[in-house]
Amino acid sequence: MRHQRLLRGSLLERPKFCGKPGCKCTKGQPHPPSLYLSRLVKGVVKQVFIRAADHERARRQAKSYKEFRQTLRRWRAIDKELNQIWEELETAQEERYPFE
């Protein structure tokens, strides 16, 4: 596992319209989208605005977080399967007493 920082949550993009009259965004050409970090805090969805200067880093770390979670899910599935196999092995090898 590479050493990397993980930004928990998911990123939301919102098209940005400044509203200034005559701006290209009023003619269907929005500015680069605003970015928000959306995450669950104590059961409530919180959205935090991300500064433009942090977009690249936030995207990279949010992607790493997503990949980390996927790997963790896979790991847990394998762990569960292995556990099942061990349980079955135990049952299959269990001796009865008195011996037959």
Q: Which residues bind to Zn ion, rule: CB under 5 A?
A: 18, 23, 25
Name the residue nearer to Zn ion (CB basis): 18 or 89: 18
Chain position carrying tokens 């970015």: 35
Smallest distance from the beta carbon of 27 to Zn ion, in angstroms? Answer: 9
Smallest distance from the beta carbon of 15 to Zn ion, in angstroms? Answer: 11
Peptide bond into 98 cis (omega under 30): yes
Structure tokens at 18: 């400044």
> Distance of alpha carbon 84 from its chain centroid, rounded?
27
Smallest distance from the beta carbon of 32 to Zn ion, in angstroms? Answer: 11
